[in-house]
Each structure stands twice: as C-alpha cells, then as structure tokens.
Chain A
Amino acid sequence: MDNLLEIRDLAVHYYSNRKVVEAVNHLSLDMKKGTVLGLVGETGAGKTTLALSIVNMIRGPQGKIVQGSLRFNGKDILAMGRQELRGLRGKDIAMIFQDPMTALNPVLPVGDQIAETVIRHEGLTRAQGWKKAEEMLETVGIPGIRSREYPHQFSGGMKQRVVIALALACNPVLLLADEPTTALDVTIQAQVLDLMRKLIRENGTSVLFITHSLGLVAENCDEVATMYAGEIVEYGTVDQVFGRPLHPYTRGLFGSLPRLRDSQRRLTPIPGLMPDPTALPRGCYFAPRCPDKMPVCGEIHPRDHLFEGHRVKCHLYGGNGREAGNER
C-alpha cells in the first residue's frame, strides 16, 4: 500500500457546557505519497480540527479524539508516546498556520526559531542550525542576513514565507497547510503559492491544502475533498470533481462562484446555515439545505458511493453506484 496517511472512521468531539460539539464525524481519508490534496469547505466544517488531529494536537480537556485511527507510514499516530510524537511533529509532519502575524514568536529572531527546530530534530550544532536557518530563508527569497531580525521587522507576506521556511526546514514528508494564504492579499498570495509549489515539487512533499477557495484548489491540487459538518462528502481527483461535481453541496459551492463566460446576474448561494454541530440532524447532514432532497435523506444517513475512485456521500447515487463499504 502506498498510502502515506490513512484516516479511518475518525471522530473528534469538543465538550462545552455539557454540550458535545461533533466537529469531525466518522471521517475516512487516504493520502498517497507525493500528492497535493485540497480540502475545501465552509467555516466550521472541521477542516482545522482534522489537520490538528493528524498531529494529535487536539487539546484536552475540551477536545478529544473519541474514535477512529490515524496511520502515518503504517504507524498509529494515536498510539504514539509524547517523545515519539514530538519527533514526528515538525520533522515528518509540519504545519503552516493560517495567520503569519501570530504564528511567530514576537520576541525571538526569526532565524532563531528556524534554528531551534532543526537543532532539535536534526541534531545539528548551534552554528550549523543558524546556517541552515539562513539557507532556508534564502530559499524562500529572504536575505539570510535578516535571520537575526524579529518578526515585527517583516511584512505580512515575508512573515508567511518565514513560516513556510520554518515548516519546510526539516524536509517534512507531509505538510499540513491550513489556509496558508488567507491572511495575505492577492498578489502576495500568488507569490507565496508559487514558492510553495516550487518547494513542494523539489522535495516531493505531500500536502494537505486547506482552503476556502476552489480556484486555488484547481490550480494547486491533484485531488479534492469537500468537507461538510465534519464529514468528507465528496472526494476525487481535481478533474473528476471539477469536471462533474456529484454532491449537491459541491455543486452548490460551484454555483456560488461567478463565472466569466455566463452572463448571469446573480450568484446562487446555498440557502441556510450549516447544522448546529451540537445537534446534527438524524439523516443526511446536508438535507435541510439540499435542493435535491428526497424523503429518505431526512431518515437515513447516506453511505459512501464510489464511481471509479470518485467518492460521494449522497443518496442520489445509491441506486447505480457501488458502495464503498467500510463506513456506516
């Protein structure tokens, strides 16, 4: 099996005031080596929670992985001890955070933060660590000499590049990019993405690319997963999903985008809001907003249906598709 990451039946809950927030529900997902997987979905769909649980960083006592397994290169992440996890984080799996303004320690020079990481993970000396830090800054287009400067001396785009340098410093196998460009303006976004693409291609890194933007997915990813209310509702290659979106939610997402060719006056948004994650509906979670709702949708939670690797969780395809099986 050449799967780098296997997520099986993962469920993550947050507990607050006796309510249970079901952030991730029975989610299964595989990532192959060297692919870039785009994860799209609206705010609150559980994208960041998923990313954090991949490095087992769901914080107790409020948050808990209640079910499922996470295998990275065949090893069970949830069974790892503290020591082993620390070795995994930053070295094999690195994460780029959403907001570069807060992801760097304001009172440490940027080079120091990169050096610290490589010294810990690669067993380098201080001098070697600093040298590596300067090299990494050079690769993201920042003069090495600026390694002794503090985060406030950099612009937002540069800070995000520092964060990327920090994440890539130890040549991770898997990179979790949690909306890496959301905090940046469009021109800087393009620069940062170009850079990421280049570095990813050079090192053969696999990436979980979390974003709101379907455009970015089309441009950067090999595969797409659409997330809704803590579930992957549709999963396939970019060609499959963009060529023929199956799930009504994915179709709704495309419908809310302006198209250049058509002379449509108004966009068609998806009506309503995401269901309250403390009280998810009994049937399909998307049913209350679904334009193609059938009686069965309110009753039974849909299974995964499979068409040549293109996976969709919807009753519409129950009759003709083959069932994926291993989920409820």
Chain B
Amino acid sequence: MHAFDTSGSNLSRSLRRIARNFGQFWRRFSRNKLATASLAFVILVALVSVFADLFYNYDFVTANSLENAFLKPGESGVVYFQDRDVEHRFLLGSDNYGRDILGRIVHGARVSLIIGFVAVAFALSLGGTLGAMAGYKGGRMDTLIMRVTDILLSIPMIMLSIAIVAALGNSFFNLLLAISITLAPRYIRIVRASVITVKDQEFVEAARCLGASDLRIVFRHILINITAPIIVQSTLNVGTAILWTSFLSFLGLGIMPPKPEWGNMLAEAREFIQYAPHTLFAPGIAILLTVLAYNLMGDGLRDALDPKLKR
C-alpha cells in the first residue's frame, strides 16, 4: 500500500520522497533534449565561471601585451607576465591589446553570472513582495502598486535601465540596481496574478479559519503554490539579465574595460570587425549561447513543472 517501508526514520523517508519527486521531475524534463543540452551548457558555464582562476590568471587577462595584438585563434605568442617571458597559446586569438580572448570570456562569464543571479534575486524579492501584497490585500494597495508597475512597464525597459545607470553613476551596484528595477515589474505582475488565483480557494479560507495570520497564509500557503511559475520566470530572467549586462556594458554604462565583460569586449572589438572579426564573434557567440541556453532551459522547466501546460 505504501511506497516506503514503515521501519524507516522520518529523515530517510523524506529523503526518499524528495528523490522520488525529483525522479518524476527529471523524467519529464529530460524528455526535452534541447532543454537537457541547455542545462548541461548552463552548468558548464557556471563551473567555468566559478573556477575561472584555475584556467586563466585574472591579471593575465587584463594586462596589455601590444606585441601580441590581433593574433588569430590558435596562434602562439610570447607574453611578458609577472617579470618573465611566457610562451602562450591563444586558443581564440587575442584582441587589440594582445589579451587572450578565451581568458577574457572565461572571466567575463563570472561577471555575467553574478549579475544575472543577483539581479534576479533582487528583482524577485522586491517584485515578489510587492506583487504578493497587491494580490493578497487588494483594494487601494493593489491599485497603487499596479499603477506604478504600469508606469514602469510603459517606459521601454532599455531606456529605463540606461536612465537609472546614467542618473546614479556607473558602478557595479548601480548596474545591478538598474537591471533589478527593470525586471521587478514582471515579478509583480506574475506574483500578483498567481496570488489572486490561489487566495480565493477554500484552503486559504480554511487556514484563516484555523487561526493563521496573514503573513503565514501568504508565505506558507499561497507562495508555495506558485513556486513553479516563479522558478520558470526566474530562469528566463537570468538570461535577460545577462543580455542587459552586456548591452549596458556595450554602451559604456556597465562594466568598464579593462575588466573583462562580454558586452565591453564587443564594444572594443566592433572597430576591428573587418580586420579581426574573431575578436567580435567570440564574445558575441558567448552571449548568444548563454542567453539561448537559459531561455531553452526555462521553457523546458515550464513544461516539466507546470502540469496545466502538459501536452
């Protein structure tokens, strides 16, 4: 009758339950080959950015060595680094300052991922709280929050983030802030909509009737019911955040050179598109693949997590 034996402790039982639930999720997710491949790529990028220092020394990828400028992919050169000459092979070639492009992409991944995740976490906590408040309380609070959201949404997101960085000044934190604020309205809407569909169900009233406080109802009974759309939206938004980081950096409003970042690499390389196209393609393809992987993975998650959309 029961899938588990009665002798097991609570811990082993719940572990087994989690394993079973995950197994179920994985079966559905892995049916989507593209999403699985994307997940693998996302994990690869994550590992590379975590262990970036093992592959390339940060000082090495930020130091100029003009004699090696514009090497083609695979060419070798002698780099003067840390008081001696080092023979180095440039796997993806070098840029106009003779810096290793692959090394800069590897370190750029770190920046992109940090901003991607932190900005999404920021936007989620801000937008989630506001959205839950608007949806649960309704009335004047709802009107106020949603009209402000509508105003934010009516400003093109690009303009909004540019405006925020331009107004607050060019720094890592302000970049984060700009991306979070532009992402937050999406969460406000999605959380509000989901809260509204859940809050009128009878179990919420039952919880109230059992003496639960509003805070407890929202966090323990409502938000847990809408984790699936939030996870999906967050995955998609990480991709968006990475794209915007690059975009703002490309415009000179984000991470400034010589710090390696995909967007500013593109910006530097665009002058040399005819002379050394590989300096442009490498970061461009990095952005493309990463954002694409996050989007495909998000779609796969949506299919696996949201039973209403099951085909």
Contact = CB atoms under 8 A, between A and B. Distances in A.
Contacts of B31: none
Contact of A87 (B14, B205, B211): B211
Given A108-B224, A146-B2, A148-B13, A103 B203 contact: yes
Closest 8 CB pairs of A and B: A90-B210, A90-B211, A89-B211, A102-B202, A86-B211, A95-B209, A103-B206, A105-B203
A107 interface: yes
B224 A107 contact: yes
Interface string B12-30: 0110010000000000000
30 contacts: A57-B205, A57-B208, A82-B213, A85-B211, A86-B213, A87-B211, A89-B208, A89-B210, A90-B209, A90-B210, A91-B211, A94-B209, A97-B202, A99-B202, A104-B203, A104-B206, A106-B203, A106-B225, A107-B224, A108-B224, A116-B212, A116-B220, A117-B210, A121-B211, A130-B10, A146-B2, A148-B10, A148-B14, A148-B17, A166-B210
Contacts of A116: 212, 220
A165 B124 CA distance: 37
A105 B225 CA distance: 8
B221 interface: yes
Given A89-B211, A95-B209, A103 B202 contact: yes
A167 B6 CA distance: 27
Contacts of B10: 130, 148
Contacts of A82: 213
Contacts of A61: 139
Contacts of A148: 10, 13-14, 17
Interface in B161-213: 201-203, 205-213
A105 B13 contact: no
A88 interface: yes
Interface string A59-86: 0010000000000000000000010011
Contacts of B205: 57, 97
Interface of B: 2, 6, 10, 13-14, 17, 139, 201-203, 205-213, 220-221, 224-225
Contacts of B210: 89-90, 94, 117, 166-167
A282 interface: no
A95 B212 CA distance: 13
Interface string A100-122: 00111111100000001100110
A273 interface: no
B63 to A, nearest CB: 53
**Helix, strand, loop or mixed for chain B's interface?**
helix
Nearest to A145: B6
A55 interface: yes
A104 B207 CA distance: 9
A118 B6 CA distance: 24
B202 A120 contact: no
Contacts of B202: 97-99, 102-103
Contact of B2 (A90, A103, A145): A145
A91 B14 CA distance: 29
Given A146-B2, A166-B206, 8 more contacts: A57-B205, A86-B211, A88-B211, A97-B209, A102-B203, A105-B225, A116-B212, A167-B210
Contacts of B224: 105, 107-108
Contact of A55 (B13, B14, B203, B209): B209
B211 A97 contact: no
B206 A117 contact: no
A57 B205 CA distance: 9
B268 to A, nearest CB: 49
Contacts of B2: 143, 145-146
Contacts of B139: 61
A143 B6 CA distance: 11
Contacts of B211: 85-91, 117, 120-121
Contacts of B206: 95, 97, 103-104, 163, 166
Contacts of B212: 86, 90, 116, 120
B239 to A, nearest CB: 27
Nearest to B221: A105
A82 B201 CA distance: 22
A313 B28 CA distance: 63
Contacts of A117: 210-211
Nearest to A108: B224
A117 B206 CA distance: 11
A104 B201 CA distance: 10
Given A116-B220, A148-B13, A57 B209 contact: yes
Interface string A167-186: 10000000000000000000
A85 B10 CA distance: 34
Contacts of A146: 2
Nearest to B222: A105
Contacts of B220: 108, 116
Given A57-B208, A97-B206, A107 B225 contact: yes
A102 B201 contact: yes
A106 B197 CA distance: 14
Question: Which interface residue of A94, A103, A146 has the most chain B CB atoms within 10 A?
Answer: A103
A55 B207 CA distance: 13
A99 B14 CA distance: 29
A126 to B, nearest CB: 11
Interface in A139-176: 143, 145-146, 148, 163, 166-167
